[in-house]
């Protein structure tokens, strides 16, 4: 199962809890501030398994996690890149 993290950057205050608790390291703190002056979390979604730990620990409820059971995560041999492909029916 693969996941996709959606972060509401205007709601996020950049506390960093999601960064600390993400088991796959999919989330970082942005170098750009939002309209309120906070540096929000952002994600590249590579490697996300859809565990939703980030959404559970977010005190601002700024994170939503989507899961797609028709997508399989495949890790390359060098373990640097993760690609997502649809399962064959």
Confidence of residue 2 (pLDDT cuts 50, 70, 90): confident
CATH topology of domain 2-86: Alpha-Beta Plaits (3.30.70)
Indicate if the pLDDT at residue 89 is higher than 60: no
The answer to whether 67 and 3 have CB atoms below 8 angstroms apart is yes
pLDDT band at 81 (very low <50, low <70, confident <90, very high): very low
Instruction: Assess contact for 56 and 31: CB atoms under 8 A.
Output: no
Measured in degrees and rounded to the nearest 5, phi and psi for residue 19 equal: -65, -45
Q: What pTM value is reported for the model?
A: 0.72
**Domain ranges, ordered by start, for the chain:** 2-86
**pLDDT tens digit sequence for 24-78:** 999 999 999 999 999 999 998 888 999 999 999 999 999 999 987 655 555 555 5
């Amino acid at each position: 199962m693969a996941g996709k993290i959606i972060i509401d950057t205007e709601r996020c205050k950049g506390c960093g809890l999601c960064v600390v608790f993400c088991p796959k390291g999919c989330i970082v703190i942005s170098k750009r501030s939002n309209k309120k002056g906070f540096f929000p979390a952002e994600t590249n979604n590579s490697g996300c398994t859809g565990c939703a730990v980030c959404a559970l620990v977010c005190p601002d409820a700024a994170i939503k996690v989507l899961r797609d059971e028709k997508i399989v995560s495949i890790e390359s041999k060098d373990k640097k890149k993760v690609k997502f492909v649809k399962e064959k029916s």
